[in-house]
Chains A and B, each alone.
Chain A
Amino acid sequence: MHANTEQLLSLRDGDPVSADIMEHVKTCPECHREIARLERVRDALRALPEVEPGVNLWETVAVGSLDRSTPTRFHWASVVAIAASFVMGVALMTRLQQSGDDVGPIPLETTPAATVAGSIPAVDRSMPALQLSSRRLETLRAALPRRGGVERAATAMTIAELEDRIALVDLKLNNADALGLTIAQERILWRERVNLMQSLVQVEYALLQNPGR
């Protein structure tokens, strides 16, 4: 009686089989041929070429990692920040709505974004203060009127780059524990986030002041 496939695979791979099967295979050309065939199938599978991904998924991966680590920060400061920013946002919108031909571009250093960031005393660059500032800028940006019309490619790219850099900072902050970041490193990241958010709001604010920018 011939060895079955499982026994032949065991023989092929050097695994033990019963003595009677071993004896049979030694003298059976058919079983021997079958083992050789099993070897060829294995070799053929191993020889299959690697397949490269059809598209570059890296950007999707980076975004996906952000999507799945939805920020859970800002809890304690949210209410205060939203309230403060709401007032500023309303003031900003009122000003924009009232702006006529007589109102020229506002210097960036006096924009709401600069005001929010500058509201933190120089001596108070603590993490909570930076988080509060960051949150205020987020809310302020959300309160800005939507941009209309066409903007210059360079401006669009600047905005996109700032958004990307903020996203990367967020990725690090959201994985701070996993990454083993120290408090000092986290504080640096928060400061970077505030600076980036400030730049972003300033660019978008300037764009509203001068749509052709």
Chain B
Amino acid sequence: MPGFSDCNVEPAILARARRGDMKAHEILYRVYATPVYTLALRMLQNPSQADDILQETSIEVIRKLNTLREERTFPGWIKRIAVNKCLGHLRSAWNRRSSRSDAGIDGDGSSSYEGSDLGRDAAGAEQQLDAAQALNFLSPTARAVVWLFEVEGYTHQEIGQLMGRTASFSKSQLSRAHQKLRAVLGSMEGDESCTQTLSSY
């Protein structure tokens, strides 16, 4: 998946956009729309919310592009805006409803994804799930941590800061999320699972 790393644009286009040239902004939009939408869809699992994220991100780009110091940081800048928008949506969702599914994994207590719960969810699926479907089984917070760490390359320290928590929180979320994924993706465990030599670790 190319993602944000492919969001490089010509300096001349950025310069035009900085001057308020809306055609240049439209060119930028064409470059970042798909990565932003993909990020939002994976993190939020909701197409209409992903639309909102793309729109809000684009508007922020139009309004704040002049604060971008170095052109080469444009991909990371866009990604940061989009991630913050996604996390903002998650926070607002938390405020609107105290999601029961969040209670176990977001709390500081014991994990709710170990033991029989795992089996129940996996049995409910009754078919092999792909990774995208498996994300649906995670709480919004866990899903965000998994996506940011495993795909977008954020560190636990960075994720903790973004979420107003600690690196330990991020590690814990990731660990529990993988326990959950292990159940729902159980059939991914194939015969090739032990191809490396034991001494490699």
Binary interface encoding of chain A residues 15-59 relative to chain B, with 1 for a CB under 8 A from any of its CBs, else 0: 000000010011111001101111011101111111111110110
User: In the complex the two chains form, is A46's CB within 8 Å of B38's CB?
Assistant: no
Let me know if A115 is at the binding interface, CB within 8 A.
no
Contact with B along A53-69 (1 / 0, CB 8 A): 11101101110110011
B194 touches A36 (CB 8 A): yes
- A6 and B29 contact, CB distance less than 8 A: no
Is residue B3 within 8 Å, beta carbon to beta carbon, of the partner chain?
A: yes
Whether B22 and A29, one on each chain, are in contact in the complex, defined by CB atoms closer than 8 angstroms, is: no
Count chain B residues whose beta carbon lies closer than 8 angstroms to a beta carbon of A: 56
- B63-105 vs A, CB cutoff 8 Å, 1 = contact: the mask equals 1101000000000000000000000000000000000000000
A39→B42 CA distance, assembly (Å): 19
Q: Are B188 and A50 in contact (CB under 8 A)?
A: no
Chief secondary structure at chain B's binding surface: helix
**Measured between C-beta atoms, what is the minimum distance from B86 to chain A in Å?**
14
Binary B-proximity of A81-121 (CB < 8 A = 1, otherwise 0): 00000000000000000000000000000000000000000
- Specify which of A28, A41, A44, A181 lies most central, judged by the most chain B CB atoms within 10 Å of its CB: A41
Q: Are B37 and A45 in contact (CB under 8 A)?
A: no
The distance from the CB of B28 to the nearest CB of chain A, in whole angstroms, is 10
Q: By the criterion CB–CB under 8 Å, are B3 and A57 in contact?
A: no
- A180 at interface by CB-CB < 8 Å: yes
Q: Are B47 and A45 in contact (CB under 8 A)?
A: no
> Could you show 20 A-B contacts with beta carbons less than 8 Å apart?
A4-B175, A33-B194, A37-B189, A41-B131, A41-B150, A45-B131, A48-B131, A50-B2, A51-B34, A52-B37, A53-B33, A53-B37, A57-B54, A61-B55, A64-B58, A65-B59, A175-B62, A178-B63, A178-B64, A180-B19
Q: Name B residues whose Cβ lies closer than 8 Å to a Cβ of A.
A: 1-3, 18-20, 22, 25-26, 29, 33-35, 37-38, 41-42, 47, 50-51, 54-55, 58-59, 62-64, 66, 130-132, 135, 146-147, 150-151, 171-172, 174-176, 178-179, 181-182, 185, 188-189, 192-196, 198-199, 201
